[in-house]
Each structure stands twice: as C-alpha cells, then as structure tokens.
Structure 1
C-alpha cells in the first residue's frame, strides 16, 4: 500500500509539474517527453559550399585534396548551422556566415574546427545578432539528467559524432523521452531515457529522427550546452 501511495503521489506531482512547464509532456503513466516545446523550432538545412577550383587537367592528388576540402567545409557549415538553430531558438537572430566570420581573423572559415566554433560563440553577442546578450557554451557529459535539465529549461543541445581527434557531424538534440525509476519503497530514484529526437541539417539527410537511447550513446562523441542570457 505504501508503494502504491508513493507512486500515485508521484504521478500527481509530475502531472502538475508537466502542466506548469511547457517543455515537459506526459505521454504515459510514468513516461514523459522533455524537449524544445515552448515555441516552434526553426529547422535550417546546410547550404553546401562550392568546391575549390581545379586546374584544367587536375591530378588525382589535386582531386582528392579538393574533395577533402569540400567535405571539411561542409562539416564546418554543418556545425555552424546547428549553432545557428540553437541560438535562434533561444531568441537571437543569427545567420551561418555570421558564426563563421567570428573566426575570420584567425583562420579561413573552412578550417574552423567544431571546437573553434563552439569556443567562438562563448561571448557577448554581436549587436547585429539581435538583443544584447551573453552566450555561454560548455561541454557536457552524456548524462540523462544533464539532458533533462537543459531541455526542461528550453535549451536544445548540440552533439557531435566521430572518434577521438576527428571532426564528425553535428546534430541538434531537441527532445528526450524517459520513464521514471522507483526503488522498492516506491521512491523516485531517477529517470531512464528511452529515445532522443535529433535534427540533422546535413544536405539531403532526414531532417528529424527519433533514435533509441542505446543507439544514441555510441553515436555521440561530444555534447555541448548553449545558454543565452539577455541583458536587462
């Protein structure tokens, strides 16, 4: 009876909490979805960069170098597009070129690494990005509680794929479904993630996908939080 009472009490509390927070939706008795639900998420697609110019009769090495340069530039644009979507969801008005140009004094935009881009936006926002604000970015552990805290606050996350020392693809994590864990006494002990929703701006990729947590964990090599605080 004590266990049943604890579970019923928890369901009532979490139902009230989800009603108060527009970013949390109840989809089952003990199953919820947390995500960027407060207002519409504006999806954008990567604009593929133009390939480097080649000589009239390029060598195989020149062709390979041009192909790799195009891939690198597309990956950079992929990350910049994800950053743009997250910043714009948080209330700014940013374009991809503005993000890439933050590092224009240090290196060509096509050579910006994902870490360069994430570090570059950790700053006071330029005046032409909308209302004056301070942007905070940070690396995060792949922890369901961290993801829950960010999404419940209306802050989508940026995730990267790839192995160590490799620059992989970028996605925006906009939602997570989860169930509630209880101990033998019916007390809440945490959450168990079920799925995540990721937005993929890569050219011709599926724009929005739901991925099982077990498949998501090995996919993710890096996770970043992005927070925008507007100046009063």
Structure 2
C-alpha cells in the first residue's frame, strides 16, 4: 500500500512539473512576442522619423514604440493643423517630426513638470523642432468643475492651469497621456471637458494606457457624455480612440 501511495505521489509531482514547465514556456513566448512587437514598431518608427539623434528611453512609464508608430503614421496621413497633448516626452518629438514632414501644423504640449518640460525642450531644440511646438509648463492646480473623482477621495482632483490652454482653438487631434495616474482617481478625466468646445467636428481624442481600468472608464464616460464612437486598440499599454461618425 505504501508503494502505491509513493507511486501515485510521484506521478502527481511529475504531472505538476510538466504543467509548470508548459505554463512557463507559454509565458515566455508571450513576453517574447510582446518584445518583438515593440522592437518591430521601433524599427519602422525610426525609418519614418527625420530626426538626427535618438529617441528618449521608451520603457517604464514612457510611451511605447507601437503607440508612437501609430501616432506618427496618423499625423502624416490625417495632416492635422492643431494638435494638443497632455504630457510631454517622446510623443512630442514624434508628433513634431510628423508635422515638420507635412510642412504645416502646430503642437501645443501641456506639461506639469518643469524637469520633464526642460528635457523635452532641449530635445526639440537639438532637433530643430522647436518651431513646431508650443510647449507650456505649469504646476497642477485644483479642479473645481465636474469630475469622476469621488467627493470623499483621499486626493482631490487636480488639473493643468487654465492659463496654459489660452488661445488654443480648432483642435484636430487631442492626445491624453497625463497627468500621472497617481495624482488622483480618474486623473485624466478633465481633458475633454476642458477642451471639448475647441475641438473641430472631425477631431479625434487619443487616450494612452487603456490597459488600466481607470482610463477605460474615462473613455467610456467621454463617449457617453459627448457622443463619440469609442474603439480600443490592443497596443502594449492600450489605446482608446474617440471619434465622431
């Protein structure tokens, strides 16, 4: 009887080892495929860009290569005259490059961090892209209008200073990649309420990081409240695009 128990235990352990090995192999393939997709996107993006230097690091909190490739392709194809982004960085450089290749257009880049704003500005100057970008920097301020953030939340809602949005009209593309999610719950919600009246009829709104539920909830609320069609794209960090029919 003891031998039977030992044999049964051995078979169980062997099967568990096989199952674990199969799962590890599957997980490794998923990671490998995701990494390949980003390297492939980066390769195609570098072919499209006209910059002489290198892009900032595109890992961690930075925008992913697949998003940047889609953004550069869209800007060159749709040829927007006015682009607004919340959160500067690699997307600023990529958008400005596409505008320069188009030969017209203006990017208004809204940033809350003077540190990251300076990094972005230095890169733009080095690549002679500064004329295509109006970079505006200002610390976040209390947002006193409607917000998805609960009234009893630990962190009250904050947003970019209203003065940074002065004289921005006729927006064709709105990119939302800030402020940081840790600012408050649903931190990016004010983007559309703040600029909805300034969007052109055919404008699109792009929300990065829709692998996170908060960003999805914001997108759905925008779609419901402002009459947009909403489509998600399975990029590394997710992308939600709102547009009108």
TM-score for both structures, normalised by structure 1: 0.27
Kindly name which structure, 1 or 2, has the bigger radius of gyration based on alpha carbons.
2
Q: Which has the higher strand share?
A: 1
TM-score for both structures, normalised by structure 2: 0.26
Q: Which has the higher helix share?
A: 2
> Which structure's relative contact order is higher, taking Cα pairs within 8 Å and 6+ residues apart?
1
